[in-house]
């Protein structure tokens, strides 16, 4: 495959942009090689600067759930730009957007728009702290909540010790307020809570994790967290930046029947534009400025172009439940195809999937938390990634990512992915 133009651009990029990219995973460091630079995309396909065609499994990490350059969303954006790009004043579409989100996600009574998932999670924990008057938060190892300081914290050595900064530039003071538990481990959460009585403002998690690869909550885990939070007056925050509007119209919380106090949203909510949101119980959200004392603001929040794209996306999803039926069927078809190939080849790798999210882990162990995800053979994944790329399949360039299916994938595309997967496994394992 010729990627000469991409290679040239990447060389140049490294002179002017740290690491050559505006978000680290794009640099392909986890899989080696040079990243492909994308020029355009339509439906299930992306095209790179050398005009190679790939079938999409990243879909902008989720937002392109209807495939690329969807005509309805394009039209909404074209229409909106006729009326200027931004006002910094309230607009009709923000009201429509808020009303629609509240109707689609029942646990949300009030919602505030922001510009990214990172802003949503940062703001949600600030409100939770303002509401409870407590400082500490609990998060889970392997979950990602954007790049806010409070989330870039590694677990301490003992279960009840303070965390330590996971990035230079994050202060020890901030790290002291973030406690980390293993995913799917209710007992560890209870231990943390007992050791920090009346100090914990919020517990935040991805209800289905996408950011250590796709990892599902164990039976009863989410309900157990809900119970602990109720007993201890802790604000339960579900970070549905990835799962919101993807695993169901009302997100993972609808699918698993759990009602959080706050929810953070992003990715799909902007239809590909930079949008995030946080919302939940009215009594908590009424603490947000100017209704309440917790400050949070944004010059471009609720931007009219972004709202037009997002509103059109959400309205479509709200009106077309068959989207989710199709995504479920596509996910199932893909997984069954992968499983059949692995059986044929005598392989026993772990395949985690729910709806339109999946990860093939290069380990025989069940993957239920971060240590088990890390038991994967990472160099082997790197070879698999490139074998797939060579066959025209564009995957997330890390073992610790979920793939995201779109409704633009038809049976013929899914068949091609299944075939490429089998060929790639044979190639990298010399079978």
Ligand X SMILES: *Cc1c(COP(=O)(O)O)cnc(C)c1O
By beta-carbon proximity to ligand X, the closer residue of 147 and 416 is 147
How many secondary structure helices (H) and strands (E) does the chain include? 14, 16
Q: Indicate whether 58 belongs to the interface with ligand X (CB under 6 A).
A: no
How far, in Å, CA of 137 to CA of 150, rounded? 8
In the block, residue with structure tokens 């059109």: 312
- The token pair at 71 is 């005509």
Instruction: Could you list the beta-strand ranges (E) of 305-399.
Output: 350-354, 357-361, 393-394
How far, in Å, CA of 69 to CA of 74, rounded? 6
Q: Indicate whether 263 belongs to the interface with ligand X (CB under 6 A).
A: no
* Chain mean position to CA 388: 22
- The token pair at 421 is 């997967």
Nearest approach, Cβ of residue 274 and ligand X (Å): 7
Catalytic residues, which ones?
144, 239, 267
How far, in Å, CA of 405 to CA of 114, rounded? 25
Q: What is the largest CA-CA distance in the chain?
A: 64
Q: Are 10 and 37 in contact (CB under 8 A)?
A: yes
Q: Indicate whether 241 belongs to the interface with ligand X (CB under 6 A).
A: yes
Nearest approach, Cβ of residue 402 and ligand X (Å): 9
Query: For helices 411-429 and 322-345, what crossing angle results, to 10°?
Result: 30
Nearest approach, Cβ of residue 124 and ligand X (Å): 10
How far, in Å, CA of 62 to CA of 205, rounded? 18
How far, in Å, CA of 94 to CA of 373, rounded? 40
Nearest approach, Cβ of residue 140 and ligand X (Å): 11
Q: Candidates 47-55, 237-245, 346-354, 386-394 — which segment interacts with ligand X by CB under 6 A? A: 237-245
CB atoms within 10 A of CB 191: 15
Nearest approach, Cβ of residue 280 and ligand X (Å): 16
Q: Indicate whether 396 belongs to the interface with ligand X (CB under 6 A).
A: no
Nearest approach, Cβ of residue 210 and ligand X (Å): 6
Which of 20, 210, 260, 272 touches ligand X by CB under 6 A?
210
Report the residue closest to ligand X, judged by CB. Answer: 117
- The token pair at 283 is 């009594």
By beta-carbon proximity to ligand X, the closer residue of 116 and 421 is 116
Q: Indicate whether 211 belongs to the interface with ligand X (CB under 6 A).
A: yes
By beta-carbon proximity to ligand X, the closer residue of 401 and 422 is 401
By beta-carbon proximity to ligand X, the closer residue of 126 and 145 is 145
Per CB under 6 A, contacts with ligand X among 19-48 are: none
By beta-carbon proximity to ligand X, the closer residue of 116 and 359 is 116
In the block, residue with structure tokens 């772990």: 350
Per CB under 6 A, contacts with ligand X among 276-315 are: 276
By beta-carbon proximity to ligand X, the closer residue of 146 and 396 is 146
Nearest approach, Cβ of residue 209 and ligand X (Å): 8
How far, in Å, CA of 59 to CA of 44, rounded? 9
Q: Are 209 and 183 in contact (CB under 8 A)?
A: yes
User: Using a CB cutoff of 8 Å and minimum separation of 24, what contacts does 218-222 make?
Assistant: 218/184, 218/368, 220/186, 221/184, 221/186, 222/256, 222/258
Site string for ligand X, 144-173 (x = CB under 6 A): xxx---------------------------
Per-residue b or e along 7-17, where b marks 16 or more CB atoms closer than 10 Å to that residue's CB? bebbeebeeee
Site string for ligand X, 320-359 (x = CB under 6 A): ----------------------------------------
**Of residues 343, 348, 309, 330, the one with CA closest to residue 409:** 330
Per CB under 6 A, contacts with ligand X among 85-124 are: 116-118, 121
Q: Candidates 138-146, 153-161, 404-412, 413-421 — which segment interacts with ligand X by CB under 6 A? A: 138-146
Nearest approach, Cβ of residue 144 and ligand X (Å): 5
Q: Candidates 203-211, 288-296, 298-306, 356-364 — which segment interacts with ligand X by CB under 6 A? A: 203-211
Which of 104, 242, 268, 420 touches ligand X by CB under 6 A?
242
By beta-carbon proximity to ligand X, the closer residue of 116 and 178 is 116
Binding interface with ligand X (CB under 6 A) = 116-118, 121, 144-146, 206, 210-211, 239, 241-242, 266, 276
């Amino acid at each position: 495959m010729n990627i000469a133009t991409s290679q040239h651009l990447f060389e140049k990029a490294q002179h002017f942009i740290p690491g050559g990219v505006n978000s680290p995973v794009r640099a392909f460091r986890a899989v080696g090689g040079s990243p492909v630079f994308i020029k355009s995309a339509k439906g299930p396909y992306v095209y790179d600067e050398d005009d190679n065609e790939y079938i999409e499994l990243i879909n902008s990490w989720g937002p392109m759930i209807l495939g690329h350059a969807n005509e309805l969303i394009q039209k909404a954006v074209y229409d909106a730009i006729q009326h200027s790009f931004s006002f910094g004043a309230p607009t009709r579409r923000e009201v429509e957007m808020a009303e629609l989100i509240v109707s689609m996600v029942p646990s949300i009574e009030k919602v505030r728009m922001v510009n990214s998932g990172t802003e949503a999670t940062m703001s949600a924990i600030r409100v939770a702290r303002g509401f409870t008057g407590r400082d500490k938060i609990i998060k889970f190892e392997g979950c990602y909540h954007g790049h806010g300081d409070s989330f870039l914290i590694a677990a301490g050595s003992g279960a009840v010790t303070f965390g330590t900064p996971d990035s230079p530039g994050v202060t020890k003071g901030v790290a002291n307020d973030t406690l980390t538990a293993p995913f799917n481990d209710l007992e560890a959460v209870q231990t943390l809570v007992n050791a920090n009585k009346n100090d914990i403002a919020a517990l935040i998690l991805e209800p289905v994790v996408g950011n250590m690869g796709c990892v599902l909550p164990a039976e009863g885990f989410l309900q157990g967290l809900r119970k602990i939070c109720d007993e201890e007056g802790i604000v339960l925050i579900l970070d549905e930046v990835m799962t919101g509007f993807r695993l169901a119209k009302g997100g993972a919380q609808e699918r698993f029947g759990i009602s959080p106090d706050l929810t953070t949203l992003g990715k799909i909510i902007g239809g590909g534009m930079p949008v995030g949101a946080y919302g939940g119980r009215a009594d908590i959200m009424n603490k947000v400025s100017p209704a309440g004392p917790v400050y949070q603001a944004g010059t471009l929040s609720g931007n009219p172009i972004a709202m037009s794209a997002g509103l059109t996306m959400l309205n479509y999803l709200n009106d077309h439940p068959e989207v989710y039926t199709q995504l479920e069927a596509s996910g199932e078809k893909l997984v069954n195809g992968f499983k059949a190939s692995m059986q044929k080849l005598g392989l026993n790798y772990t395949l985690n999937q729910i709806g339109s999210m999946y990860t093939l882990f290069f380990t025989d162990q069940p993957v239920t938390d971060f240590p088990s995800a890390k038991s994967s053979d990472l160099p082997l994944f790197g070879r698999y990634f490139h074998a797939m790329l060579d066959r025209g399949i564009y995957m997330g360039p890390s073992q610790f990512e979920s793939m995201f299916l779109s409704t633009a994938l038809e049976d013929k595309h899914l068949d091609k992915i299944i075939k490429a997967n089998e060929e790639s496994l044979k190639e990298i394992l010399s079978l």
